[in-house]
């Protein structure tokens, strides 16, 4: 999916919501356990309920890998079920030497029809470049995360800047705003003003709104650009808003709340 297509979706739906399908099989409603593929049945119901309110779905591959072959099958069925109208992110945090990254890119961009994959940049440009060779596909590079461990490296001084700032500045030279996005956690909104001085045009994937405490209002005010420039991910606050048979209905209601709030910021 191209940048123009993403922007068109944002404008048409008045939304920059990304629904995180981080589907923990231990948390899905019990009545689905009788299905041949409970995870896929859950995902399918969530997608049907929320597709009008979001422009994007993100699948954290760990929740699927943990179930072995069945999990991978559920992941593949899910990404095909979503279709082409929505931006599809494999939250896999890959990043390895070039020939290995090339195989990761093939897995997620050819074997499975994802539009984007999250990438860890620690090993440098040759570990990221293979993901940037596909037209209409995106590398979403870890920029600044909001976990406690961010203090171990990301927020340490590096020359006259912080390490995360140096990483973002360096990575921007490897691609462009049409194939590179950055992950920036939502829980510290003051970060976004500085980040926007470095990358005013790039899209940001923003996890941490909702259950993790990030403020949609603060993020939108500090980080939005002329194209929207944000994909705000909400996972647990939507998909696990109910553990009863009404889970899809409740998920739709929660997704609509986010969409309506977002419409007011656009």
Q: Is 77 a catalytic residue?
A: no
Confidence at residue 211, expressed as pLDDT on a 0 to 100 scale: 62
Q: Cα separation of 255 and 120, whole Å?
A: 29
Q: At what angle do helices 190-198 and 163-171 cross, to 10 degrees?
A: 40
CB–CB of 56/87 below 8 Å?
yes
Domain of residue 183: give its range: 3-265
Cα–Cα distance measured from residue 168 to residue 24, given in angstroms and rounded to the nearest whole number: 32
Q: What is the DSSP letter of 162?
A: E
Active-site residue (options: 70, 93, 222, 257) = 93
DSSP string for 72-141: HHHHHHHHHHH-SSSEEEEEEEE--SHHHHHHHHHIIIIIS--SEEEE--TT-HHHHGGGGSSTT-EEEE
Answer whether 51's CB lies under 8 Å from 83's CB.
no
**pTM of this structure:** 0.96
Per-residue pLDDT, averaged over 197-226, amounts to 89
Asked whether the beta carbons of 204 and 182 are under 8 A apart, the reply is: yes
3-state class (DSSP) for residue 142: strand
Domain count, the chain: 1
Which CATH number belongs to the domain containing residue 30 in this structure?
A: 3.20.20.70
Q: Specify the higher pLDDT residue, 94 or 215.
A: 94
**pLDDT tens-place string over residues 98-149:** 899 999 999 999 999 999 999 999 999 999 999 999 999 999 999 999 888 9
State how far the Cα of 231 lies from the Cα of 238, in Å rounded to an integer.
15
CA gap 19, 23 in Å, rounded: 11
8 within 8 A of 57, measured Cβ to Cβ? no
Distance CA 128, CA 93 (A): 11
**Bridge partners, 57 (sequence order):** 19, 88
Write down the pLDDT at residue 146: 82
Residue 203 backbone phi and psi in degrees, to 5: -75, 145
Question: What average pLDDT does the segment 243-260 reach?
Answer: 97
Which DSSP symbol is given to 214? Answer: B
Report the DSSP pairing between strands 116-119 and 138-144: parallel
pLDDT over threshold 80, residue 178 = yes
pLDDT the model gives residue 209: 83
If you average pLDDT over every residue of the chain, what do you get? 95
pLDDT value of residue 225: 95
């Amino acid at each position: 999916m191209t940048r123009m297509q993403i922007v068109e979706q944002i404008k048409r739906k008045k939304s920059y919501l990304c629904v995180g399908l981080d589907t923990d099989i231990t948390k899905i409603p019990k009545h689905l356990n009788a299905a041949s593929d409970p995870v896929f049945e859950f995902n399918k119901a969530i997608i049907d309920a929320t597709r009008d309110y979001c422009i994007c779905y993100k699948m954290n591959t760990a929740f699927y890998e943990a179930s072995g072959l069945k999990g991978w099958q559920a992941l593949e069925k899910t990404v095909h079920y979503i279709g082409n109208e929505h931006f599809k992110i494999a939250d896999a945090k890959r990043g390895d030497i070039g020939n290995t990254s090339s195989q990761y890119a093939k897995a997620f961009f050819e074997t499975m029809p994802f539009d984007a994959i999250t990438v860890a940049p620690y090993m440098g440009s040759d570990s990221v470049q293979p993901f940037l060779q596909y037209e209409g596909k995106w590398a979403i590079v870890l920029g600044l995360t909001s976990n406690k461990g961010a203090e171990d490296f990301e927020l340490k001084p590096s020359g006259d800047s912080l390490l995360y700032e140096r990483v973002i500045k360096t990575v921007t030279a490897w691609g462009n705003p049409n194939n590179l996005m950055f992950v920036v956690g939502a829980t510290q909104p003051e970060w976004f003003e500085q980040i926007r001085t470095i990358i005013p045009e790039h899209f940001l994937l923003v996890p941490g709104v909702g259950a993790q405490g990030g403020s949609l209002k603060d993020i939108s005010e500090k980080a939005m650009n002329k194209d929207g420039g944000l994909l705000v991910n909400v996972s647990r606050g939507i998909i696990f808003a109910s553990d009863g048979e009404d889970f899809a209905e409740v998920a739709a209601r929660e997704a609509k709340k986010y969409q309506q709030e977002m419409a007011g910021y656009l």
